[in-house]
């Protein structure tokens, strides 16, 4: 006995009742709801693809910007350098300017975990969160330096940036200014900016650090020395 499916006018088997009742086209074509859903998946992947391509194209540019940033001082250090240079007339030549940013030090810190470092360098790496130094040379030695004007100019530009001078020393041909942030509250976020002028050489440097690891190490060392000195003071029979 031959069993055949009933066919509609197009020669296709009829749709199940649910699909048939939902379809706007009774002749068996795909309903519009399903047809609308199908192209959205490819659109999402196209957009993601564009983003990935743009990122890949921008990566060399980001690398160039990052590397260029390693030879550029931060704004506060630049301001301190400029205030000193402008106060001392003459032709200044840049010898070196290096900036090691936080992420780079973070990578070094991460890499150092795979090595068995002594506690002091380990604490120093853990503490340092960014450092930079610039060295400049004056072509001809100036005849006389107005240190008051130099301090005033440096204080003014650093105060605008939220820094306060904690040490200022000037004698002969030597000038030292040390600045720290005004809102210094905790050892976890220490920062320091220094300018040293000696004859014709100017060094500006700054660093950001979390001093907690260094404090712990220093406290431990002091305790060990204290215990050792107490032990040395005891008579031999007591040891």
Furthest CA-CA distance within the chain = 121
Would you give the distance in Å from CA 145 to the centre of its chain? 37
Q: Which stretch binds another protein (CB under 8 A): 18-26, 82-90, 109-117, 164-172?
A: 164-172
Burial class for 78, CB neighbours closer than 10 Å (0-12, 13-18, 19+): middle
Nearest to 194 by CA among 176, 175, 219: 176
Nearer to another protein, 48 or 186 (CB): 186
Minimal distance, residue 235 CB to another protein, in Å: 23
Contact set for another protein, span 123-152 (CB under 8 A): 144, 146-148, 151
Q: How far does CA 104 lie from the centroid of its chain?
A: 7
Q: Residues 176 to 195: which contact another protein by CB under 8 A?
A: 180, 182, 184-187
Cα–Cα distance for residue pair 29/118, rounded to 1 Å: 75
Number of residues near another protein (by CB under 8 A):
27
72-76: list long-range contacts, CB under 8 Å, 24+ apart. Answer: 72/97, 72/99, 73/97, 73/99, 73/132, 73/134, 73/204, 73/206, 74/99, 74/132, 74/206, 75/161, 76/158, 76/161, 76/163, 76/179, 76/193, 76/206
Residues 85-104 that bind another protein (CB under 8 A): none
Query: Least separation, in Å, of the C-beta of 223 and another protein?
Result: 6
Q: Which of residues 198-237 bind another protein (CB under 8 A)?
A: 211, 215, 218-219, 222-223, 226
Under the binding rule (CB under 8 A), the answer on residue 165 touching another protein is: yes
Nearer to another protein, 28 or 168 (CB): 168
DSSP reduced 3-state for 25: coil
Looking at the Cβ atoms of 98 and 176, the one nearer to another protein is 176
Site for another protein in 15-34 (CB under 8 A): none
* Residue of 9, 75, 91, 171 that binds another protein (CB under 8 A): 171
Pick the closer one to another protein by CB: 29 or 173. 173
What residues make contact with another protein under the rule CB under 8 A? Answer: 144, 146-148, 151, 164-172, 180, 182, 184-187, 211, 215, 218-219, 222-223, 226
């Amino acid at each position: 006995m031959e069993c055949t499916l009933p066919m509609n006018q197009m020669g296709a088997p009829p749709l199940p009742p649910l699909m048939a009742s939902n379809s706007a086209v009774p002749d068996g074509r795909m309903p519009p709801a399903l047809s609308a859903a199908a192209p959205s998946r490819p659109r999402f992947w196209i957009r993601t693809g564009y983003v990935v391509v743009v990122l890949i194209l921008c990566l060399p540019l980001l690398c160039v910007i990052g590397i260029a940033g390693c030879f550029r001082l931060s704004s506060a250090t630049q301001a301190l350098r400029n205030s000193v240079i402008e106060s001392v007339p003459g032709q200044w030549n840049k010898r070196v300017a290096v900036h090691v940013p936080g992420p780079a030090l973070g990578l070094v810190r991460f890499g150092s975990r795979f090595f068995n470092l002594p506690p002091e360098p380990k604490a120093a790496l853990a503490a340092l969160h960014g450092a930079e130094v610039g060295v400049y040379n004056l072509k001809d030695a100036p005849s006389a330096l107005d240190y008051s004007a130099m301090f005033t100019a440096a204080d003014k530009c650093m105060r605008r940036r939220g820094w306060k001078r904690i040490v200022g020393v000037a004698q002969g041909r030597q000038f030292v200014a040390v600045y720290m942030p005004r809102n210094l509250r905790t050892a976890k976020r220490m920062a320091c900016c220094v300018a040293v002028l000696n004859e014709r050489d100017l060094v500006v440097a700054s660093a950001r650090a979390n001093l907690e690891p260094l404090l712990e190490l220093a406290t431990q060392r002091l305790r060990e020395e204290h215990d050792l000195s107490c032990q040395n003071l005891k008579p031999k029979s007591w040891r």
